[in-house]
Amino acid sequence: MTLKETPYILQAEEIHKTYKIFGTSLEILRGASLRVMPGERIAIKGKSGSGKSTLLNILGGLDKPDKISGTQVKIRDRDITKAKESLRARIRANDVGFIFQSYHLMPEMNVVENVLLPALALPRGRTNARERALQLLDMAGLSERLTHFPKELSGGEQQRVAIARAMINCPTIILADEPTGNLDSATGDQILKMIFNFCQKENSGMENAPALVMVTRSDGIANRCDRVLNLSEGVLS
Ligand SMILES: Nc1ncnc2c1ncn2[C@@H]1O[C@H](COP(=O)(O)OP(=O)(O)OP(=O)(O)O)[C@@H](O)[C@H]1O
Ligand SMILES: [Mg+2]
Residue 218 is predicted with a pLDDT of 87
Superfamily (CATH H level) for 39-63+85-232: P-loop containing nucleotide triphosphate hydrolases (3.40.50.300)
- Domain residue ranges in the chain: 39-63+85-232
Nearest to 88 by CA among 6, 96, 221, 108: 96
Ligand 1 proximity of 28 Cβ (cutoff 6 Å): yes
For ligand 2, a single-atom ion, the residues with CB < 5 A are 52-53
Compute the distance between CA of residue 79 and CA of residue 114 in angstroms, rounded to an integer.
28
CA of 136 to the centre of ligand 2 (A): 27
Q: Is the CB of 46 under 6 A from ligand 1?
A: yes
> What pTM, to 2 d.p., does this model score?
0.95
Which ligand is nearest to the Cα of residue 22, counting in written order? 1
Per-run averaged pLDDT (10 residues), the chain, 237 residues: 76 97 94 97 97 98 95 95 92 95 97 96 78 94 97 97 95 96 90 89 83 93 94 98
Distance, in Å, from the CA atom of 85 to the CA atom of 74, rounded to the nearest integer, reads 15
At 94, is the secondary structure helix, strand, or coil? Answer: helix
Ligand 2 centroid–CA 152 distance in Å is 26
Dump pLDDT digits (tens) for 126-141: 678 999 999 999 999 9
Q: Nearest Cα to 210, choosing from 199, 194, 221, 219?
A: 199
Identify the pLDDT of residue 25. 94
Q: What is the model's pLDDT at position 177?
A: 97
Residue nearest to atom 4 of ligand 1 (CA): 19
Residue 200: its pLDDT value, please?
Answer: 84
Contacts of residue 223, defined as CB under 8 A and 6 or more positions apart, other chains included, come to: none
